[in-house]
Amino acid sequence: MVFTVTYHSPLGLIVIESDGEVLTGLRFADVKASASKMEHDEAGGEKVESNKAASPIPVIAATVRWLDDYFSGKRTENATMGKQPENVTIGNQTENATINVTADARIVVKPKGTMFQRRIWQALLTIPYGETVSYGEIARMVGCKSAQAVGQAVGANPIALLIPCHRVIAANGKIGGYAYGEEKKKRLLELEQQCKHKTFFC
């Protein structure tokens, strides 16, 4: 079973996805992605619940609170990367392996991806709130020679905001691409800059 709710943020709708226990997706979406009833998920053949107010899923409720805090400037710390599951091995199984990202005691995030993608996402968690790094810096951090490959992995991040891919910019200082559009990326960076330099919460 896959559960989804839509969150109304200052930058538009955000879709929160969970398997009922952990957070599996957090992404911006347009109005068409919103729903308020049980509907059929064509990709997975599972029912999807979209009802923020009535959601009984604890991790979804906690994520909503996290987003409320983030957009009000009260959430300035990064998530932290949990330990790799013991059954993760190098080989064919790496495609299906997951990493644990704990945002707080109530939110556990498990983004699925390749071993390389997970290395990149882990590196993203080291970028402080209100700061930026270049794709090249991330590449050097993980020992990769290709900033382009890093960019592709950053763009594949399934957990927006909690894993802060919006803090990666081009080497020339330009804002660079973003899966949800450069305007959203610009506004997220502006929000963090404003809240970082204020004594009190925004």
Query: HEC profile for the chain?
Result: CCEEEEEEECCEEEEEEECCCCEEEEEECCHHHCCCCCEEECCCCEEECCCCCCCCCHHHHHHHHHHHHHHCCCCCCCCEECCCCCCCCCCHHHHHCECCEEEECCEEECCECCHHHHHHHHHHCCCCCCCCEEHHHHHHHHCCCCHHHHHHHHHCCCECCCCCHHHEECCCCCCCCCCCCHHHHHHHHHHHHHHHCCCCCC
- Exposure class string for 167-176: b at 16+ Cβ within 10 A, else e: bbbeeeeeeb
**Which residues carry out catalysis?**
165
96, exposed or middle or buried, with CB in 10 Å at 0-12, 13-18, 19+?
exposed
